[in-house]
Amino acid sequence: MKLKKNSIGLDKKPKDTTVVVAMSGGVDSSTVAGMMKKEGYNVIGITLKLYDNTKEVAKSKQCCSGQDIMDAKRVSNKLNIDHKVLYYQNKFKEGVIDNFVDSYLHGETPIPCIQCNKTVKFNDLFEESKNLNADALVTGHYVKSLTNNNVTNMYRAIDKNRDQSYFLFNTTREQLNYLRFPLGGLLKKETREIAKKLQLNVADKPDSQDICFVPNGDYVSVIQKLRPEAFSKGNIKNLKGEVLGVHEGIVNFTIGQRKGIKISAKKPLYVTDIIPEKNEIIVGLKEELLKKEIILKDLNFLVNKSYFENEIFVKVRSTGKLIKSKLNLNNGQAKINLLEDEYGISPGQACVFYSKDENGEKVLGGGWIKNN
């Protein structure tokens, strides 16, 4: 007699299923651990220590801090589940922090959360879960996943304000088949209600808001500490090549930025380009930020490339809207033609591909936006 699939899509009874829950110490992952335990799964919680804490970090609203590790331990004790802390500071610095700093030096606007998911969370945590003979790795991301014939597809979450699919485009097919996202069908307020019913002390804990290793959102101070030589003066020019002023370092600027240019003009000026090899900032009017074409690099596909014969939708920033587009693959180069104009598209950001079907908005993959 064939067993009925359990709640995470496996042909096993929960009591015979071991899951690793990635526990950050926040309400989302803690609730997931509680849900899995209540359903009868064998739960192992794992928390990653990714960076060395400072007083500034401890006071800010960030994930993976020392306080978060203690919260994860307390939740694990409350739920009576095994809990491990893995120390990945060196890997995190090499794979995420150094990449973050170097991206700014190259005139890009990086997304360290995607790099973290790729290099540490879903790579090393995946291997650790396999070593523990776990049947699945479960996280508190707001992503909907549907498994059919042992193949898992990823969709945008029901709660569009919390949807985190943009940050997971670099997940591999093997990882996606192993991952589970129980919160994808819930609203955030519903998650907190479940946490309260489970009597978890993190039920009302505020969400993390800053990049975990950037105290109070001040990324410039992080770069100053690690690459002080990056703050060399250079020219600010208009699109005609005329010098309008001087900047204190290109790392102080991102594409689309208006504040901090310190140049008086009849109309507001925005950063339209950053040229690191010349140490120059290019400024122009807002309409000069409009783009209809994006060049991509380092693509990751979660579906067959035949999907891209038709129009797709893309997101070019985490808070952006879905834009109808066409992906062209020629001679190893990937180009997105946007079917509507978009402002302030920045190199270093991700361009994530979606399609729409009866189950919602499906993640097809994505790539990194590069300088044209």
Enumerate the active-site residues: 116, 212
- C-alpha 303/C-alpha 344 separation (Å) is 28
Sign of the dihedral defined by the CA atoms of residues 163, 167, 172, 178, in that order: negative
- Identify the bridge partners of residue 368 per DSSP, sorted by sequence position: 297, 350
Contact predicate 129/24, CB 8 Å: no
Contact predicate 25/70, CB 8 Å: yes
Residues with Cβ within 8 Å of residue 265, at least 6 apart in sequence: none
Contact predicate 24/139, CB 8 Å: no
- C-alpha 323/C-alpha 290 separation (Å) is 14
Parallel, antiparallel, or unpaired for β 323-330 and 333-342?
A: antiparallel
- C-alpha 170/C-alpha 187 separation (Å) is 24
Q: Is 125 helix (H, G, I), strand (E, B) or coil?
A: helix
Q: Which of 212, 208, 320 lies closest to 256 in space, CA to CA?
A: 320
Tell me the CA distances in angstroms from 197 to 57, 203, 317, one per residue in order: 31, 9, 35
Parallel, antiparallel, or unpaired for β 179-180 and 18-22?
A: unpaired
Name the helix (H) or strand (E) containing 58.
helix 55-59
